[in-house]
Amino acid sequence: MSLNPNISSQLKDKYDRIDQDLDAHLEGLLHSKPINYWDYINTDALLNLQTQRTVFPDEMVFIMYHQVNELLFKMVLTEIDQIGHSSTISIPVFTDKIMRISRYFDVLTSSFSIMKDGMDVNQYNQFRTTLTPASGFQSAQYRKIEFASTELINLIDKRFRDNVDKNICCEEAFEQLYWQAAGKDYKTGKKTYTLSDFESRYKDEFLRFSKFYQTNNLWSKFKTLPKAAQKDKKLIKAMRHYDYTVNVKWVMAHYNTANHYLNINGKTAEATGGSEWVKYMHPKYQKRIFFPELWTSKEIENWGRNI
């Protein structure tokens, strides 16, 4: 079989452009191994990333499910990144991307029962003691999804939101983000180790990331669409679906799971991250909403109450 002349001329152009000798690269093909599934997907590395701290079998489920979540978070961020970095975006592409992101969160929501049903409550309450002071609260990708979805004002603690500048940004916003509440000792206001550790690892990265997304988040991009496009029913439906799935359905699946393990016989146990979790986690208190302008005041008032 001879090499297609069109391909060989494109190859020559490609390597000429980077001052490389095409023949040397072609010779390399003689010695390279054909690709296979396990090398391409990196299954060996992937399946060796689970390190238990105890001997309880359900701890393995707990670790792996968190890893599955982190992979899906990465898929969500990959989609948002494409919207954030696009200079123009059409309504069908925007709608398509939002629906795709929503589907990832639908998977996260419907699968959360893996954490609740079938996992042994006793095993959980024993292995979780070895995880203190770590908490899912320290998931950097989850925080990035929030920064990339909406303006910072919508992530400010509900108690201060009405009294801060709508365009608040970066360092100033950081200390008032809703999740600071979970990372402070609710009796003394002092930052917990869980929060300080998280900040020393990620704060600089979060500030860089949120600065870019302050004007390139999903809501800002939506607002750059022509006025008529902003009324597109399919797009609005997709945006509302995403908002509700992340901020009510996922949050409630999570909250119900925490309740299942940490609220035993009406007695509330302390979470590994040390938050006042019953109040902190429920959507009706925080009223975290990515796209408040797409909801009526009645819907906002009842946020998280009808589920």
Question: Shortest approach of ligand HEM to residue 68 CB, angstroms?
Answer: 8
Give the relative orientation of helices 57-84 and 193-216 as an angle to the nearest 10 degrees: 30
Question: Shortest approach of ligand HEM to residue 242 CB, angstroms?
Answer: 17
Q: What's the rounded Cα separation, in Å, for the pair 94 and 79?
A: 10
Q: What's the rounded Cα separation, in Å, for the pair 247 and 53?
A: 31
* Cβ proximity to ligand HEM, 248 vs 262, nearer residue: 262
Question: Shortest approach of ligand HEM to residue 59 CB, angstroms?
Answer: 11
* Cβ proximity to ligand HEM, 237 vs 287, nearer residue: 287
| Enclosing H/E stretch for 120 | none
Question: Shortest approach of ligand HEM to residue 238 CB, angstroms?
Answer: 23
Give the relative orientation of helices 22-31 and 5-17 as an angle to the nearest 10 degrees: 110
* Cβ proximity to ligand HEM, 74 vs 223, nearer residue: 74
Using CB under 6 A as the criterion, which residues of the chain lie in contact with ligand HEM when the complex forms? 65-66, 69, 115, 124, 135-137, 139, 142, 179, 182, 254, 257-258, 261-262, 271-275, 277, 280-281
Question: Sign of the CA dihedral 173, 177, 183, 187?
Answer: positive
Residue 282 CB coordination number (10 Å): 17
The letter for the amino acid at 21 is: D
Distances (CA, A) of 74 to 45, 53, 118, 141, 219: 18, 25, 27, 7, 19
Question: Shortest approach of ligand HEM to residue 268 CB, angstroms?
Answer: 10
* Cβ proximity to ligand HEM, 273 vs 292, nearer residue: 273
* Cβ proximity to ligand HEM, 192 vs 214, nearer residue: 192
